[in-house]
Structure formats: structure tokens, C-alpha cells
Chain A
Amino acid sequence: MGSFKEIVNTISNPTILFTSVLILFPFIFPPTDWFDKWHRKLGLHHLWGTKAIIIATIGMTAFFIYGLGDYNFQKIVLKPDNVPISGMIFLVVFFTWLSMNQAYKNDELLDKGQKPDEFYEAPNDKVLVWPDLVYVELISLIIMSAFLLVWSIGLPAPIEEPANPTESPNPAKAPWYFLGLQEMLVYFDPWMAGVVLPSLIIVALMAMPYIDRSPENSGFYSYKRRRLGISLYMFGWLVLWQLLIIVGTVLRGPNWNFFGPFEYWDVHKLEALTNINLSEIIYIKFLNTGLPSNILVREIWGILITLGYFLILPPLLAKTILRNMYEKLGVARYSIFIVLIITALTLPIKMYLRWIFNLKYIISIPEYFFNF
């Protein structure tokens, strides 16, 4: 059983974990017909069947019970701050399964020319608020209040010693729902990861109904007719948000180093990561000239790469693989859509650049508080 823990620790290495998730993702949530073909060939559509959720629940429960026998895993999972995350893992898996299961059912019904499962012949196109909605809300409210009361009594808040600005706990972790943002802060300048990207997440959520204006299939779950949209959304939600929360909770230890879930949190774990900026790679490693004193000359390569990424990539994609989408959406909606998507993609790109090349900033102008 010791080797099982070692395997889990090895898979939890961020590069391995993230790469396997990135490769598997399009086959689990196929964005195009081609991926869907393989999705079915590989039998991955069984993931949304009844058997799969039973196996997944048993498997996850067994893993947690087994893990609790390990001191290091137990310390992470049973910490009162982290209990919601353990619950979240189960809830996210279950509700993702539930919606996908329903979506696949509806896809089949629609293919046969039938009405979707949720179809309800409402008189005058209206549904009563009372008792249909309010009653359910009342019951949920009572159950939730009772649950929260029991939880707060059973699991007291982990109050620590009085705040002291000269003493940061090691590791210092944000509230559990912010751990994804904290993980993002490792790869970007604070203004980018703390202000620009979170705002863009909200903007993107608001922009969604204006980018995909088709009223088709609204009001019920379906996948087949909105593959790309759902796949992209699920990537942002499950990989860039949920997975990062789990990484921040389970895999980040003292000094904000990476640790496997069964690895001892050694404060003295030595991890020599000398991060360098793009300008240093170009001028010191390749050209051997030393950094130029002029800021613009020093950062010109990073600026060119960033401009190229944001200004040349979108029209290039519109001419090639995203031509259909460009024609469907028009210039304005396509531009907003593609800028949001490639901005979101800067996160995994920068994560890989950090893990593989120890690259810190593509543009680094600390003189003017501008780093990217």
C-alpha cells in the first residue's frame, strides 16, 4: 500500500497532473464532432451513466477513508478550513454528472424528435410561484439552516492567536473558496491575478448570453447542440477554478512549495527555483550581453510576444480554424469572445512556463509596477 501513496504523490506533481487533465479534458467534454467520435469510441460517454456515478462515489469515499489512515493526508482533510473542500469535491462531481446525464438523455430524445425530459406543458406559458417555487425554497431554507447550525456547533472555527503583522502562518492560506485565486497569484503580478483576471471572470460570465444569443435549447440540459460553449465553460469552471482550489488546498504546503497529498510537510524541503524573466533569458543566456539599461530595449521581446498573442492570434484564428465561428458571430462578438478565451488561456500557459522553464514574467518593468 505504500507504493500506492507514492504513485498518488507522483501523479500529484503539478506538471504531470495538469498535463494529464489537459489531455483528457477534450475527450471527456468533447468540444467538436471529432472529439465526440473519440469520446464515444473510448467509451467515455459511459461516464455520464448511472453505473459511473455509483463507482465514482464509492471510489472517492474509499480513497478518503483510506487517506484518513495517513497522518499527512488526515491533517489536510480534517482541518476545519478544508472540510468544505472535501465536500465540494463530492458535490462538484455529483452535479456535473447529474447535468451531463440529463443532457445526454435529452440529446437522445431530441434526436428521436421527442420533447426533452424537463418539458412541462405550462398553461399560458406560466408556472405558479406559489406553491411550486416558494415551497421548495422554504424546505431548502429550513434544511440548510439546520445543517449549518449543526456544522458550526460540531466543527468550531479554527481561531488562531491574535493577528501579528510580523508573523505570517506557514503556509498562509486564503479562505478555501479563494485558494484558486491564490494559486493564480503565484504566476502573475498582483494587479493581474488580483484585479484584472477576477474582473474578467465576472465580465465573461455577464457577456456569455450576448456572445451565444441562440435561444435554441434554453430551459433544459443538452450537450450535443452547444458542445463548444459547454466544453469551454467546463474547462474554466472545473480546471481553472475547481482544480486550482484543490491544488491550493491539498498540494501546497509550507513555504508554498508543492507536496503530494501523502507527503510530509517538511518546512525545510529544499526546492531551488531560480525564476528568471524573459529579458534575462534573452540577454543573459542567449546573447550574453547583460541587461540593457533602457527599459524599452530590455522588454521589447516580451512586449512583442504579448502584442502578438493578443493582436495577431485572434485574426489568425478567425482566418483558419475558427472561421465558421467568426462568420457566425461577427467581428464585435468574435473579438470579445476570443480575447476572453485567450486571456483565460494565459493562466495555463504561464503555469507551464513557470514549471518547465522557471520563467517568471514575460514583461517585467518593476520600475513602473508593470509585470506580465
Chain B
Amino acid sequence: MPDGKSTVTKSPEPKAPAALGKTTKDIEGLNRRSFFSWLSFGWVGFVAATGGFFTMLLRFLFPNVLFEPVQTFRAGFPDDYIKGEVSTKWKDKYGVWIIRNDLGIYALSTVCTHLGCTPNWLSSSKKFKCPCHGSGFKATGINFEGPAPRPLERYRIVQADNGEIIVDKTQKYQQEKGQWSDPEAFLMV
């Protein structure tokens, strides 16, 4: 009877421990130590994959084709420009105003020295006026109103052998650094 009792009491037991034993065995297969090694393995894999992906993305920072406008251009002959007038002919294409005064010709950059907007030439009030913060420049490029801290920059301007004007935007001259007196900042004609 005690045997029977024990079998009766034990008979349902194997079922439950069997189920429990299975799970504990599985968990034992993945113990604390191996869990961490798997975790580090996973992380290394993840970092390698994302790192590789972002490294490939770096390539996209460098464009295949760069549409940069030509930095040096021929701007016609001195006689194309009228004395005392601001020519906006090259503004859209090259970002340059060409101005001729009694002494000669100079090329002004169309980038406002405050925050880089493009000012407009107001022929009625004889000034360049920036639409962003109201900076004003005289035809010479000197800043006289609004917040612009320094005058517009001038570009290198020289004459080719045939007398054509060449404007070189790679070389610029800043008034506050005293560079406007450079012979190539102003073309005597």
C-alpha cells in the first residue's frame, strides 16, 4: 500500500518535473557565462554591420559630379561698361558686379558680408541693399548702413593680351585688410 501510495503520489509527479526539467535544461544550455558571450558576439556583429554601413554612407558625402561654376571668366571689353554705372550682367551667372568709375573698373562679390544673402543694386538711391537684414553698400562696396561689419569683397581683375577683361574669383581683396590698393584689385583704363 505504501508503494501504491507512493506510486499514486509519484505518478503525476514525473509529468510536471518533466516539463519543468525540459525548460531548466534549456536554460542551463544558455547559462550566465554563455549568455554574455553571445551578447558580446551579437553586439560586435551589430556594431560591425552598422559601422560598415555608415562607412559606405561616407562615400555619398563626395559627389560624383560637382557643378561648380567657372571661377575665372572673360567679361568683355572695357568699353562695354559705361562710366559711373553698375553692371549686373554677370550677377546671375558668376555672382559678380562689374563697376566702372572715372579711373577704372573693379569686380565686386555679390555676397553680403553680414550673412551671405545677395543684395540688390538700387540705381535710384545708388546703393546695394541687402533684403535680409538691411545692410547697405555704396557702389564702391563700402558698407554704410545696416549690420554688415565690413565692405563687399573685390575680385582679381586683369586684362588679357587682346584687351578683354578677365575676372578671377579665386583671388579676393578685402578693404579692411588694406588689399584694395593691390594693382590687380582695380583695373586702370
User: Which residues of A come within 8 Å of B, CB atoms?
Assistant: 164-172, 182, 185-190, 194, 254-257, 267-268, 270, 272-275, 360-361, 364, 366-367, 369, 371
Contact A168 B145 (CB under 8 A): no
Nearest Cβ in chain A — how far from B179, in angstroms?
12
Q: How far is the CA of A34 from the CA of B135 in the complex (A)?
A: 43
A275: chain B residues at CB < 8 Å are 144-146
Query: SS class of chain B's interface: helix, strand, loop or mixed?
Result: loop
Q: How far is the CA of A364 from the CA of B92 in the complex (A)?
A: 32
B124: chain A residues at CB < 8 Å are 268, 270
Contact B110 A166 (CB under 8 A): yes
Q: How far is the CA of A182 from the CA of B114 in the complex (A)?
A: 12
B37 contacts A by Cβ under 8 Å: no
Contact A182 B149 (CB under 8 A): no
Q: A172's contact among B91, B117, B150, by CB below 8 Å, is which?
A: B117
Q: How far is the CA of A90 from the CA of B136 in the complex (A)?
A: 36
Which of A169, A188, A255 neighbours the largest number of chain B CB atoms within 10 Å of its CB? A255
A171: chain B residues at CB < 8 Å are 131-132
User: Which residues of B come within 8 Å of A, CB atoms?
Assistant: 91-92, 95, 110, 114-115, 117-120, 122, 124-125, 129-134, 136, 144-147, 149-150, 176-177
B145: chain A residues at CB < 8 Å are 272-275
A165: chain B residues at CB < 8 Å are 95, 118
Q: How far is the CA of A190 from the CA of B134 in the complex (A)?
A: 13
Contact A166 B131 (CB under 8 A): no
Contact B122 A255 (CB under 8 A): yes
Nearest Cβ in chain A — how far from B104, in angstroms?
25
Q: How far is the CA of A360 from the CA of B136 in the complex (A)?
A: 12
**Chain B residue, CB-CB nearest to A360:** B147
**Chain A residue, CB-CB nearest to B92:** A166
Contact A190 B132 (CB under 8 A): no
Nearest Cβ in chain A — how far from B137, in angstroms?
12
B125: chain A residues at CB < 8 Å are 268, 270, 272
**Chain A residue, CB-CB nearest to B111:** A165
Q: How far is the CA of A170 from the CA of B145 in the complex (A)?
A: 17
A371: chain B residues at CB < 8 Å are 149
Contact B114 A168 (CB under 8 A): no
26 pairs across A/B with beta carbons < 8 Å? Answer: A164-B92, A165-B95, A166-B91, A166-B92, A166-B95, A167-B92, A168-B118, A168-B131, A169-B131, A171-B131, A171-B132, A182-B132, A185-B114, A186-B134, A187-B147, A189-B147, A189-B149, A190-B147, A194-B115, A255-B130, A255-B134, A256-B133, A268-B124, A272-B125, A275-B144, A366-B150
Nearest Cβ in chain B — how far from A102, in angstroms?
40
Q: A186's contact among B117, B122, B146, by CB below 8 Å, is which?
A: B146
Contact B146 A168 (CB under 8 A): no
Contact A182 B133 (CB under 8 A): yes
Q: A256's contact among B92, B118, B134, by CB below 8 Å, is which?
A: B134
Q: How far is the CA of A358 from the CA of B32 in the complex (A)?
A: 75
Which of B115, B124, B136, B149 neighbours the largest number of chain A CB atoms within 10 Å of its CB? B149
B91: chain A residues at CB < 8 Å are 166
**Chain A residue, CB-CB nearest to B151:** A366
Which of B91, B145, B147 neighbours the largest number of chain A CB atoms within 10 Å of its CB? B147
